[in-house]
Every structure is written in C-alpha cells, then in structure tokens.
A = this chain, B = another copy of it.
Amino acid sequence: MKLYHSARSSASYRVRIALACKGIPYESRLLNMQAMQHASPEYRLVNPVALVPALDIGERVLGQSLAIIEYLEETHPEPRLLPPDALDRAYVRALSHLIACEIHPLNNLRTLNFVRKAYRQDEQGINTWYKHWIADGFSLLESFFAREKRHGRYCNGNEISMADCCIVPQVANAQRYSCDLAPYPTVMRIHDACIEMPSFIQASPGNQGEKWWLSPIEDGKR
C-alpha cells in the first residue's frame, strides 16, 4: 500500500493513526500542501479530486479518510476500531462524523484560502474564523460526551476507536492555531491519553519526515 498524505492534514493524520493501530505497513508518499503539490498534474493522476489522503492499494486508489478507515476495518478487522454492537458503532461513527463533517471542513486549507481571498482576510482574520469554528465544534463535542456518557480513557470507553483517530488530529490542528482548549476538558483528557500510545506517536505530524513525494518546489509555486 502507498499512502499519499500530508504531515499536517487532519484527514491524513486520521488514516495514519488507523494504519498504525492495525500495524499495517505502507509506503509513505508525502505531499507539500503549502506548495500546492496536491493540485499538481502528477497527483491528479493518483487522485483526480486533488485531496489527501489517498490510499493506493494496487488495484484501486481509495479516497476520503473515513471511507478508507472503514475499508481497513473490513479488510483488517484486528485490532478493531469499530465496536461489535450496532448501537456502539453508531455512537463511534456519530462522533467521528461530528468532527469530520461539522468541524474540519470549515477549517481545512481550501476553506481558509477562500475566506482569505474572498473577504480579504489577513492572518488575524483567518485566526478569528478558525477559532470560531473550533470553539463552536468543540462545544458540540463536549455536549455530546456529556449526554452520551460513553467515554472513558478514550472516546468509546477504554477501547481505541475510529473516533480517537479523528479527535487527536483535530486537537493537534487547534493547538497549531493556538486555540484556547481549556473549556473542553473531556476532549483534552482523551487527546492526552491517546497521544501517549506508540501508534499515535508514530502517526503524528512531527514523525513524517520531509521527504516530499514530488521534488521540492521553489517559492511555493509550480
């Protein structure tokens, strides 16, 4: 398997955690998103929608992080990232989608770039946008945890699940933008427990090296 990914992209990070948790070996193909390598003709041959991550499994290239994790779960069921009971699975998926659908899309690179350009926002303006959606989304997460009361050391009791693959990258991104995360103690307690584990350390942005799949590009432009 080859994983096309970027060190900082949350969605890439989710899949790296899942691969590491399941002990699945893969070749890393790292893209420099700041230099727009994901929009390059070379990468569009791999993934026509120009998004990361993409997992090349030989016969096909799979896209969309949660669809990839579900595929990995079906083809490499142990150790599991989805619990066996349908209601428990619905809980883990709801939490994962709360992050992947309600928080991340508002703060990913293509959205920030558009807000910057369309509304002439400087870095401070972008930070305001970013922090708004983190505060909004993390409040949703805390409300969800408070109501469901199903978390333990991790999102789903004391068992690592797909939801942990989503929550850790989202916190990492929020920390990069210096968001105040003190108001979200449950989220942070789970994050702190997860990032101690070897699989999460192996998958972390800081451990991806800087060997770009495409050659380095001068001044951020192709």
Could you tell me which A residues sit within 8 Å of B by CB distance? 48-51, 59-60, 62-68, 70-71, 74-75, 86-87, 89-90, 93-94, 96-98, 100-102, 104-106, 110-111, 114, 118-119, 128-129, 132, 136, 140, 143-144, 146-147
Cβ–Cβ contact B48 & A147, under 8 A? yes
CB A23 to nearest CB in B, in angstroms, measures 19
Cβ–Cβ contact A94 & B106, under 8 A? no
Cβ–Cβ contact A74 & B86, under 8 A? yes
Count identical subunits in the complex.
2
Given contacts A66-B97, A106-B111, A118-B129, 20 further A-B contacts (CB under 8 A): A48-B143, A48-B147, A49-B98, A51-B102, A51-B140, A62-B90, A63-B94, A63-B144, A66-B101, A67-B93, A67-B94, A67-B96, A67-B97, A68-B90, A71-B89, A97-B100, A101-B101, A101-B105, A106-B106, A118-B128
